[in-house]
Amino acid sequence: MKSNDLHQLIKSLKQAEKRYFKIYATRHALQGENNYVLLYNAIESQEVYDEKKIITQFKGKKFTNRFPVAKSYLYDLVLKSLNSYHRQSSLVIKTQELLRSIEILFKKGLFNQCSDIIKKTKKITQKHELFLQELELIKWEKKIANENDKNISENQLLKLSNDEGKVLEICKNINDYENISQNLFSSSYKQGYIKNKDLIKKFETIFKTDLFTSEEMAKSITAKIQFFNIYAEYYRTIDDKHHYYISMKKLMELGASDVYKEQVETKQYISMFFNYLIASFTVKNYTEVLTMLKEFRAIKIKTLKGEASLFVRSHQLEQAVYIAQGRQYESCDLEQRVITGLEHYKGLIEARHLIVLEYQMFYLCFCEARYKEALKWMNKILNGEQQYRKDVIKVAKMINILLHCELENFDLLEHLILSTYRGLQKDKSMTKIEKLIFDFFKNEMENLITHKNSVEIFVTLKDKLTVELKRPEEEKVLDYFNWMIWVDSKITNTTMMSIMLEKSK
């Protein structure tokens, strides 16, 4: 156990879990060992773990002489209390307890009672697709059959073997889809949603296999969810918004079933729901997104990290809708909520989601012509984690040039343009629109600095952008930053947000 593992575990507890632990510890700690509750309180009070301070605080107590042992005991005690607390809410924990009861009764030779609990537990496992637990139940049925061989027919033994084979086949089927998902999605998480020809070829190769000849090849709801999830990711990658939305709608229908919702991890359900909301956003169902965000935020979360995930994803979408509709009057409250939430959930938000939220905060400030605030968010993006969402990082580096132009930091522009241009050339990921923007800054730098012919140069740029945007492969660029609206804002001398508001009417 690492030195700060216990501190991390304790700090992850929700208020109700903390209260339950103290009751549990009082009941289960050995006589005279309620010092562990005091140790728990001391560790829980620290924002940053300081072991030396803890040992000094309890100087003279026997447990400080073997502090690693005391920490290990408290760690196990906290885990046991969590198992006890979540027993009723987790079907997996409930079935594991029933399996332990079966084992105890078997060892006592109470085979009929074993069989009664097996029947009871099978109703749960079969209803909720708990296939691994069902295999365990079949194993116990076989053991009981071996003990009662005189009362078991060959047909009954054959049925047990057949049942086991069917469940194993379903488990393998799920595993096949999950392996494909992990392989494909790891690339998406890193690259983001840049059109990647190699990734598209991977999808197309996979779709030629037997697993994807039809939906019926997925043998369970769990497998069907993976089946449609893979198709949804493919449509998202090739930017087929319509079929992406249809696939995600099918996924949500499957995910809403009792079979799935009762046994799936909340994190998975949040991810599915979030992707459905993204799909709704891409087809401009803004009213549906805002309506369903209320339901999304009402999902019951059991961990602080889960709360952080729900916070960042829901605010990403809300912010995206406000920007798309030019709703400046509502964005101010949203901005403050984001700032407060980022501080509250610091260190708990996945990098790939944090980058998107920070970019959207930048975009919001930029669209409202609050360039100094936009710069703060841009610096967070460029100085943060660069491993994920390379698509967002790439766009941010491009728009950083634009931002410094608006701030009139002209002394930085030449270096920024050159370094960014070289980086994109090296990655071989520059689009024609991006090349057009680079050429604009290089060729019109003097006019930008002196403000000469400003309207004329932007009108010319707009004409060139209009031509390029007729190419379907270039249109995706506007999902990250609407260059046309920026150009219009320069021509009309107004903010991007004002134009967005007018267009949404």
pLDDT at 489 over 60: yes
Domain ranges of the chain: 5-85
Q: Given this model, what pLDDT does residue 117 score? A: 93
Q: Given this model, what pLDDT does residue 280 score? A: 93
Cα within 13 Å of Cα(366), Cβ side: 28
pLDDT at 298 over 60: yes
pLDDT band (50, 70, 90) for residue 31: very low
The residue ranking higher by pLDDT, 318 or 16, is 318
Q: What is the pLDDT of residues 381-421, one digit of tens each?
A: 998 877 778 888 888 988 998 899 889 888 888 888 888 88
Distance CA 36, CA 45 (A): 14
pLDDT band (50, 70, 90) for residue 429: low
Q: To the nearest whole number, what is the mean pLDDT of the chain? A: 84
pLDDT band (50, 70, 90) for residue 183: confident
Q: Given this model, what pLDDT does residue 438 score? A: 85
Query: pTM higher than 0.85 for the full model?
Result: no
Minimal CA–CA distance to 333: which of 305, 366, 364, 376? 364
Proportion of the chain above pLDDT 70, given as a percent: 90
Q: Given this model, what pLDDT does residue 32 score? A: 47
What average pLDDT score do residues 168-184 get?
90
Distance CA 478, CA 135 (A): 51
pLDDT at 192 over 70: no
pLDDT band (50, 70, 90) for residue 195: low
CB 250 within 8 A of CB 234: no
Minimal CA–CA distance to 127: which of 308, 318, 258? 258
pLDDT at 268 over 80: no
What average pLDDT score do residues 58-66 get?
82
Minimal CA–CA distance to 267: which of 225, 234, 306, 216? 306
Residue 70: Cβ-neighbour burial (10 angstroms; 0-12, 13-18, 19+) = buried
pLDDT at 173 over 90: yes
Distance CA 208, CA 117 (A): 44
Q: What is the pLDDT of residues 197-252, one digit of tens each?
A: 788 888 999 999 999 999 999 999 889 989 998 999 899 888 888 999 999 999 88
Comparing 125-139, 352-366, 414-428, 491-505, the range with the smallest average pLDDT is 414-428
What average pLDDT score do residues 287-292 get?
91
pLDDT at 155 over 90: no
pLDDT band (50, 70, 90) for residue 332: low
Distance CA 354, CA 349 (A): 6
Comparing 23-27, 31-35, 95-99, 189-193, the range with the smallest average pLDDT is 189-193
Q: Given this model, what pLDDT does residue 206 score? A: 92
**Six token digits for residue 169:** 């086949």
pLDDT band (50, 70, 90) for residue 58: confident
pLDDT band (50, 70, 90) for residue 276: very high
Reported for 24-29, long-range contacts at CB under 8 A and 24+ positions apart, including other chains, are: 24/77, 24/80, 24/81, 24/84, 24/85, 25/77, 25/81, 28/77, 28/80, 29/77
pLDDT band (50, 70, 90) for residue 14: confident
What average pLDDT score do residues 433-442 get?
85
